[in-house]
Amino acid sequence: MTGMNKLIKNKKLIFLIIVTGISVIILNSCIYDDAGLFATLDEESTDCSQNSSVMELDTTSKEFFLESKEKQMNKNLLNDLNIRKAILYAIDRDKIVNELFSEYNKVHNSLFSEDSYYYSQSWSEYNYDINKAKEFLDIAGYGVNNPLYITIGSISNSSTKQTIEDIIKEDLSRIGIKIWIFNKSSEEWYSECVGNGEYELGLWSIYNFEGSNLGYSFSSEKIPSMATEENKYCENFYWYNNTEVDGLLKRIGNEEDIDVKKQLYKDVQDMLADDAVVLPLHNRMFYIAYNNKKLQNIDLSIKNNKVFFNLEEWSLYNGEDTPDEGENEIIIGFEGEDYELNNLLKRDYISSLLLKGLWEINEYGEYENILVDEDYNLEYNTPGLSEKKVKVVLKDEIFWEDGRPVISNDVKYTFDLIRENNNLNGVDEEFSKVKDIEVINEKEFNIIFSEYVKNWKKIFNFILLPEGALDEKGIDDFSVKDIVANGPYKVEQYISDEYLLLKKNDLYFNEIPDIDYFKILFDSDINNLIGMLKDRELDLLIVPFDIDLIKGIDEDKNLNLLIKPGNMIEHLAICLKPKED
């Protein structure tokens, strides 16, 4: 009786007859309700007692779904906060994670990884609660007896995404939201759907490490349609607009106190959660298996969603498996045909062992001095100075592997290489605001800005090359065999498509590692590498997630399994782009 009263209240009567083999829906209506699923079928008549129309459609068909969706009067339903909150409460994230990962992952409630200083469980309120979900959807005027039709999409070649979509579809159907899954090829999904805001619910990952990407993703100034040559990286694919969040993001960009930034990032995440525009699902995890009979002090960090091993601190158990000569070596498997180093802005654990830059970012998003002794703003220290300058002083006793000192000319040379090739992937959008590098002497240089950048060290997040390193070839042809190292290791031998052998660099300016040799074996077949790991022909391998494989490694007494959360957060996105009614 309650359901009938609700239908009468909404001025609409629907009869549903189920027939063997097909569902036939008969609509007898001439007035649509405020929520508006069905308009009058016979538009020329308003007399319900004299006119009726019959439509026979399979209620599970795409045609029925799209026709029902088209008859929803409000084309901007997802702008209703109650509907968005209903969606978030209705999704059983524990079920999703357990289905995909068993006990080897967990529900995530932040836009930062759990290892991050800025991690905050802002989405913990959205534990699965079907009653809350129904309450919010009822406020919006929808429910099981008056369903809402929306779509979800992702890339078509991902079984993981398909599993998530299927669970979300099942969960939302329980509260009265009908879902149709529209998946596309990777190129179509990201360029045509996500990039243009042509989706309703979507699944993809958001990269976030030290927090700067949140500005690109959620600032109202970064909506894709606002992109210009000056306003790059417009990645607010949610079309989210909140002036209070905009203000917090700008404050973060000018804030230097770490604890203050931590609170600001929490505030941003709390607001995003309260606005229910995204729902974090889980981290992308890294699974590292290693020989526990040989290696100790294993640890790593994840930056730019890449692994960085703390190899400088690794050591062997009592020298086990050490050759008679007293030298020691660890062997790491590398999934791929070869190792490429053709982008000075893309660091990984191999390039970071060979080449160091001026600064390196830490878990707080701060840049720590590596090759730099000190830096200071000349504008604040030199009265009457017209140009915006920062003076940088390099450390003493830093050398390339051949004994040459690392000098200011090397910095200018590397900077100019990147400026001449500013189509390199990863160039900071404010790179063009550096006018020049002015060499003062071997250990001092000035950075001259055409427009001062507050967080300017991010522009110099590249590895350093010695002057003249690429005079004979272009940056795209730069190979690992051309490297002159200034890091803890140097290239000892390189056999293309087979292996790369690194030897510790005795001229390294920091603490010299205990491990003499570090060998990387290339193989594009991960199964071969896994077999070598189990046979103890490899000491360490980053393994793909497969429940049976991971459980097998976890139970192997000769192997340890190290699990680290990455900087990619898989999430449900809700598009707020205005649609024409």
Both 251 and 342 in one domain: the answer is no
In whole numbers, what is the pLDDT of the chain averaged over residues? 85
pLDDT at 470: 85
Both 24 and 95 in one domain: the answer is no
Average pLDDT over residues 256-284: 96
Q: What is the pLDDT of residues 78-90, one digit of tens each?
A: 999 999 999 999 9
Task: Provide the domain count of the chain.
Answer: 3
Residue 401 · residue 503 · CB < 8 Å: no
Both 329 and 217 in one domain: the answer is no
Average pLDDT over residues 384-389: 66
Residue 167 · residue 154 · CB < 8 Å: no
Over 60: is that where the pLDDT of 322 sits? no
Boundaries of domain holding 266: 77-284+569-574
pLDDT, greater one: 454 or 231: 231
Domain-located, residue 346: yes
Over 70: is that where the pLDDT of 152 sits? yes
Both 305 and 422 in one domain: the answer is yes
Q: What DSSP state is assigned to residue 155?
A: B
Both 441 and 348 in one domain: the answer is yes
CA dihedral over 187, 238, 161, 150, signed as positive or negative: negative
pLDDT at 321: 52
Domain-located, residue 416: yes
Q: Is 425 helix (H, G, I), strand (E, B) or coil?
A: coil
Both 493 and 360 in one domain: the answer is yes
Q: CATH number, domain at 464?
A: 3.40.190.10
| pTM for the structure as a whole | 0.81
CA distance 321 to 537: 11
Both 244 and 360 in one domain: the answer is no
Both 432 and 334 in one domain: the answer is yes
CA distance 2 to 10: 12
pLDDT at 455: 82
Dihedrals phi, psi of 125, to nearest 5 degrees: -65, -25
Task: State percent of the chain over pLDDT 70.
Answer: 86
Residues 6+ apart with CB under 8 A from 116: 110, 209, 210, 363
Domain-located, residue 549: no
Both 497 and 436 in one domain: the answer is yes
Both 222 and 107 in one domain: the answer is yes
pLDDT at 220: 97
Q: What is the pLDDT of residues 446-499, one digit of tens each?
A: 999 988 787 889 888 888 999 998 888 777 778 888 899 999 999 999 999 999
Domain-located, residue 552: no
CA distance 232 to 222: 8
- Lowest average pLDDT, out of 59-63, 112-116, 350-354, 370-374, goes to 59-63
CA distance 460 to 66: 51
Q: CATH number, domain at 170?
A: 3.10.105.10
Domain-located, residue 318: yes
Domain boundary among 54, 70, 86: 70
Both 188 and 329 in one domain: the answer is no
pLDDT at 182: 94
Closest Cα to residue 498, out of 480, 520, 465? 520
Closest Cα to residue 220, out of 231, 206, 207? 231
Domain-located, residue 205: yes
pLDDT at 7: 36
Both 498 and 387 in one domain: the answer is yes
Beta bridge partners of 152: 181, 201
SS3 annotation, 369-416: ECCEEEEEEHHHHCCCCCCEEEEEEECCCCECCCCCECCHHHHHHHHH
Domain-located, residue 543: no
Domain-located, residue 563: no
